[in-house]
Structures are given as C-alpha cells and as structure tokens.
Structure 1
Amino acid sequence: MAPPFNPFRIDWNTCTFGEWEALLARCKRPTLLQTWQYAMALAKTEGGKADFGIIHFENKPVGLVQVQTRRWLPFLTTCKIHRGPLWIYDEIPGEMLKLVLGMIRQRYHLFKGRPLVFHPEMRDTETARKRLKATGFYRRQDGYESVWMDLAPDVATLRAGLDRKWRNKLNQAERNGLVLEADTTGRALDWLMEPYLEDKMARNYRGPSPAFMRVLQQVSADTAPPVVLRAFHQGQPVAGVLLVRHGVAATYQVGWNGEAGRDLKAHHFLLWQSVLWLKESGYTGFDLGGLNETTPGIARFKTGMGGQPFRLVGGYV
C-alpha cells in the first residue's frame, strides 16, 4: 500500500547563510535559538554542529527548523530543537502541522541513533499537546514563558499600554536626568558582562555565559550584533541591558541594575528606551526574555510593560 501523499518536504543542510537569513526575516515571530549566528556561537563555545532544514510546501519555502547535534559514538548523536520550527505565515493548519512534526519524528529518533529533545515553538494548548502526542512525542518538561510586545502600534499607544504603576516609575526615571547610550560595537558588552556575572553567581539564576555572549557578538558583527543600552547618571553608568536581534524581532537577554540604578528607576528607563530603539530601527516584536516563578518581582516588572504573556507547549522526547 502506498504511503499517504505528503505535500511537505524538508531540505536538510542545502541552504547558505544568506538564504537562511532571508527566510528568517520573513518569519512572523522569529526566535534567537533558530538563528544561524546562535548555531555558530554554540558550536564555538560548546562544540557540536547544527542541521539546517528548510520546510517546503508544494516546492515553496514556508518554514525552517534548526537542530543542534552532538556525536558521542559512531551510532549515537544527541539532538535538540529549541523554539522551532518557525513559519513564514501566521499559522499552519493543524493537520498539516502534524505532517511536518511526523517528518521530524521520523528523522530524529532513538531507534535511529538520533534521540531528540524537542522544545517546539507552539503555544501550550490541549490541541498542541494532542498533536505532538499523535506524532510520537512525549512531554517531559514545562514550557518557556515570556511576554511578547507587538511594536507595530505608535509610541503613544505603546506608552498608554504600560501598567499605571510601571508608567509612573518611568515618569520618575525620566525626571532623574538619565542619559542613554546605545552600543553595537561590543565595547559596552565587556562592561556589562562583569556585573552581570557577579549578579548571576550571587543570585544563582540561569543565563547565557559571558563567553557565549562575546562569541555571539563576534559572529554577528557583520549582520545584526547584540545591542547594549546603558543608562548614565552624572557621567557614570548605573544600569545596562543587552538585546539580541533576530529577524524582525529582538530578545531582552541580559540586564544589570546597580544600587544607584534601582534608586533612579534606571531599568524602567532602559526597557522603555529599548522599545523606542527597536521600533525606530524597524523591528516589529520584542520578547522580554522569559518569566520565572522563582523571581516574581522580575515577572511583575516584565508583565507591567503591557505585552502579551505566553507559554510554550513544553519539552518533548
């Protein structure tokens, strides 16, 4: 009996960097973890390599998926997909999505020596969980949570969408004489990494290593390098944030706020300035970098910016 017709195909490792960048730029909600630069930085800091898959529907590219791989034995290569596949169009119908999930399941399977850890870029709904289960995936972990800001509205509308208390603190910050600096050269990145690492160790939270961020800066230098925004008061830097750009969106990746910065509400100032800088630069979406139940204060801070909270479907094997 002939297998059912599948209008999809995935071309693996046939694209160039430029082709991947062009497709990523067409995706409605691109993610950092599916960028070519992320794969390069990960390979340089942790080893392994990436598979790059272009998803076609009736010979037309409609999406992409990047798979991180690491070979341990001749017959064993561990594989990971984080926050993919990505789609050029807003939504792929459910039954069609199952066909693509099935193709991924068929290629990456323990029985083929390629076990997969899969964190799909799918919202956490009962329907999404059923589709994954129907294609042979089993849930093992809760999903990533964050806040997505749509930067399409005008500045006045975005500011009106801020939580009232958040907006009041922003007003205070703007009266405190803070001065903004935006840097894409990597110079300010070195400054930010030192207090960030100290804070990360003191508070024992997860986050990218300074080594990884420096390599990401290097491999992105000719395209869209990370942006560091710093707040200065009386000539001294009191806070900083790092934004990583990917396609038409960006992610708030790292932040640091000293004692003086907290008193001056510098973080409110910097996140609002991030929105303005990204919008002026033509970006349409801003991922505020994750929510965590262990840091409710940070979660309240991010949700106060008026974006749309979301949770992904989780980790699967």
Structure 2
Amino acid sequence: MTDLDTIPHLRIVWDVGRLSEWARLLAECGQSSLTQGFGYNQAMLTVEGWKPRLGIIELSDKPIGLVVMSERRLFKLIRVARLHRGPLLRPEARKPAVFAMVMKLIRREYPSGPLNWTATVPEWEAGDEAAAMMRWAGFRRDKGAGYRTIWLDLRRTEAELRAGLAQKWRNALNQAERAGLTVEVDRDGKQQLAWLLEQYQQDKAEKRYRGPSAKLVLRMRTGMYKDGDIVLIRAVKDGVPVAGILVLGHGKSSTYQIGWSSAAGRAARAHNLLLWRAISELKAQGREWFDLGGVLPDEAPGVTSFKRGMGGEEVELVGAWR
C-alpha cells in the first residue's frame, strides 16, 4: 500500500444515498452491524443528538459498501465524529486493500486537528495487519476499548446449529423445553416492550451493567418495527412472565439487544429457550447472521460463557482509533 493510486477508482460519495439504497446495501453486505443501520442512527439523532452522515462506497462507480459517520458540534466550532462498527463492505469487496483505502478516505474527510475530533471502532478483525492498515490510513490507536462479539451463522440448518451448541448449553435448552414454559412472540414490540424495559431498567440499576437507555430502545422500536426488524420473545410460567429478550434486525443480520430473567426464569433456563426460539424466528425472516451483542470476558465472564456456549465464531475488532 503506497497511496490511493493502487485502487484509483475507489471513492466514498457522501450525503447522496437514499433510504432505499441504504437498506439495499446493508442487506448486500451480509454480516452488518446494527450501528450502521438507519433505525439505530435515527434513534441516536432523536435521543442523543448524533447526526448520521451516510457515505456510499463505490469502486468504478459501482456501490460496494457503506459507512455511516455520526456527527455533533461543540461550541459551534469543533466537529466531533464517531464511526462505530463500520465501514461495511459487500463480501466480494471485503479485502484488506479495500478496507485500508476506505479508512484513508475517511481520514481525509475527517482529518485530525484541534477543530476535528474523530473516534473510530472499525468493523475489521484485529491483528497486526489490521493495526498496520489503520496506521497507514492515518489513525492513531486510542485508549478506549475495542469490541468483541460472537456471530452465529444462521445459514446452517437448525439441526446443525443445535449440534454446534456446547453440551452444557444444550442440556440447559433440553431442561427449558421440559419446564412447562409458554413462549410468546411479539413481532412489533407493541405488546411487550414496555414490560421488558421496566424489568431491564430495574435489573440494570441493581447490577450496574452497561447497556442502551430505555429511551433509545423505544426510539429504535419506533423506527424499525414497520420494516419487520423487531423480535421480542417472552417466557411465561404458571401465568407469570419470567424472562424476555429483544432482538433487532438489520439487513441480512440481527443483533441481540437486551434481555431479562427472573430467578424463576433462571431456574427454568428460560434464556436458553428464548434464544433458541429467536434463531427460528430470524431464520424465518431470512436473516443469515446473528450478532450475540458483544462479550466482555473480564467484566462479565458469566454472560460471556453463556454466549460462547451457542457455538458461534468469536471475533475481536481492530480496536479504538482516533
């Protein structure tokens, strides 16, 4: 890699993409992140004031991916920009040289300086080559944490997915299936989201873990349910709700967003059953990938172990850069 001349016809076209093109490209990228989708970014604009800026990545005038930057102004002078889990590239374009060039183009559009503050967590797997590409593109490593998650490939059959479960996880699922739980599916969040958010907020306050605000989740639901991107699943035992999860769709992918389980739900292994049911729902929607929502091995080893038990591929991104 020497300069952009190595891929002379690669460019990012800013501020021109329509919503329909955004949605189409998101789907064509296959493994996509929630944070690069329209529903998430509209919610961030409404709730936190981060304005999304869409860039269409083109090679020889043909779209090969997208990138969404989030922007704010401080004191009307300083432009603060964030890139979280982008850019997204179509599978055939997902090559190191293309990624490096795209990041250099982003750096040129968002230069480092006293009036330009940029923070990025790119959607590219960690490694020495990835770090070298980021430095070549003009970024410096930041002190902030990167991101690690687990992907389930939903293109596999349910039999293959079940066989891929860890033995302990599969045993818990078998237990849940015998526990007399009733599973309720809410495909637009209208019926059950208020209930789930009430449990989630109380649980988050008690256990002091990180997670999206209830206001942000509500706004995402408002922007996404008409596109069929909401799956809320609840487990009921003896007439009492004991667990629930919310999964959000984006293109061919989906992300586990929030969940809650009572003591009775944990005893019945309800979460195993709900996630397994979510897989069936997502496959029926045509989703091909399930992002289990991030893992923190040091801070949340129990949750990490639970997600690892589903048999997906664990991926660590290149980290935080500025």
Q: How do 1:243-254 and structure 2 match up within 5 A?
A: 243-254=247-258
Task: Specify the SS of the correspondent of 1:222.
Answer: helix
Q: 1:156 to 1:113 in 2, by over 3 A?
A: same
**Which of the numbers 174, 177, 199 marks the counterpart of 1:171?**
174
1:236 matches 2:240: yes
Matched to 2:241, the amino acid is P
Moved more, 138-147 or 302-311: 138-147
Tell me if the contact between 1:249 and 1:283 (Cα under 8 Å) persists in the aligned partners.
Answer: yes
Tell me if the contact between 1:48 and 1:71 (Cα under 8 Å) persists in the aligned partners.
Answer: no
Which residue of structure 1 aligns with residue 311 of structure 2?
306
Which residue of structure 2 aligns with residue 190 of structure 1?
194
Tell me if the contact between 1:248 and 1:284 (Cα under 8 Å) persists in the aligned partners.
Answer: yes
TM-fit CA distance, 1:253: 0.7
Task: Specify the SS of the correspondent of 2:156.
Answer: coil
Matched to 2:183, the amino acid is L
Q: 1:262 to 1:119 in 2, by over 3 A?
A: same
Cα RMSD over matched residues? 1.5
TM-fit CA distance, 1:91: 4.7
Which residue of structure 1 aligns with residue 146 of structure 2?
143
Which residue of structure 2 aligns with residue 204 of structure 1?
208
Task: Specify the SS of the correspondent of 2:32.
Answer: coil
TM-fit CA distance, 1:114: 2.7
Which residue of structure 2 aligns with residue 279 of structure 1?
283
State the distance in 1 between where 2:244 and 2:103 align: 40
Task: Specify the SS of the correspondent of 1:242.
Answer: strand
TM-fit CA distance, 1:112: 7.9
Moved more, 148-157 or 222-231: 222-231
Matched to 2:124, the amino acid is M
TM-score between both structures, scaled by the size of structure 2:
0.95
**What percent identity do the matched residue pairs reach?**
39
Which residue of structure 1 aligns with residue 15 of structure 2?
13
Tell me if the contact between 2:154 and 2:290 (Cα under 8 Å) persists in the aligned partners.
Answer: yes
State the distance in 2 between where 1:156 and 1:306 align: 13
Number of residue pairs matched by the alignment: 316
Matched to 2:304, the amino acid is A
TM-fit CA distance, 1:53: 0.1
State the distance in 2 between where 1:24 and 1:112 align: 33
Provide Cα deviations, 1:116-158, integer angstroms capped at 9, x if missing partner.
Answer: 1011000011100000011111111332111100011111111
State the distance in 1 between where 2:76 and 2:303 align: 45
Gaps of 5+ in 1: none
Tell me if the contact between 1:142 and 1:313 (Cα under 8 Å) persists in the aligned partners.
Answer: no
Matched to 2:314, the amino acid is P
1:216 matches 2:220: yes
TM-fit CA distance, 1:111: 3.0
